[in-house]
Amino acid sequence: MTFLELVRKRCSVRQYSDRTVEPEKMNYVLEAARLAPSAVNKQPWHMLLVESEEKRQLLQSCYNREWFKQAPLYLIVCGDHTESWKRADGKDHLDIDVAILTEHLCLAAAEQGLGTCWVCNFDAPRVKELFALPEHIEPIVLLPLGYPADESVFEGEKKRKALTEIYAHH
């Protein structure tokens, strides 16, 4: 599969099967994330794998959507403000670094036939509390992960702006 084929395959999956994700596939996805670049190579991220039913229910209370409850696994992708690089004008690159890591997770998952969906509209203070995250650790993305209920979801055409709408040559 070429890189463009992989990018075309990756999509937001909102229906999951109950099929178990193999540990070797999960390790592959995590290794791809570990290799993600970050500003000044600070790697200011931490991930929590949520798989027990008790912890899954806790996390589901932070984003109460029926489709979200179907996923067999979740990653809580967090950033560490004490480790992130700050530009001279004070711009904190934490969100950028975590976004790069998260997309590495999503692309690697898609390559392995797994679905993901970025979830950013969740109760972050509740996640911090329920998962006892230290003050300097911010939960930034919830990432459900599992086999799609319908694998044809990977074949759909994406609605994207034309290149001429997002690119200009000067």
pLDDT in tens, 98-128: 999 999 999 999 999 999 999 999 999 999 9
Q: Of all residues in the chain, what percent carry a pLDDT higher than 90?
A: 86
Contact 87, 35 (CB under 8 A): no
pLDDT tens-place string over residues 15-25: 999 999 999 99
Nearest to 155 by CA among 3, 25, 13, 28: 13
In a domain, 157, yes or no: no
Of the pLDDT bands very low, low, confident and very high (cuts 50, 70, 90), residue 159 is confident
Q: Would you say residue 7 lies in a domain?
A: yes
In the predicted model, is pLDDT for residue 150 greater than 90? no
Domain count, the chain: 1
Q: Is residue 121 part of a domain?
A: yes
- Bridge-based pairing of strands 115-116 and 45-50 is unpaired
pLDDT in tens, 130-149: 999 999 999 999 999 999 99
Q: Which structural domain range is residue 43 located in?
A: 3-149
In a domain, 167, yes or no: no
CATH of the domain at 77: 3.40.109.10
The amino acid present at 73, given as its one-letter code, is: L
pLDDT number for residue 160: 87
Residue 160: inside a domain: no
- Average per-residue pLDDT for the chain: 95
Mean pLDDT (whole number) for 32-53: 97
In a domain, 154, yes or no: no
Q: Name residue, tokens 């000044």.
A: 40
Quote the pLDDT of residue 148: 96
Between 155 and 19, the more confident residue is: 19
Residue 43 in any domain: the answer is yes
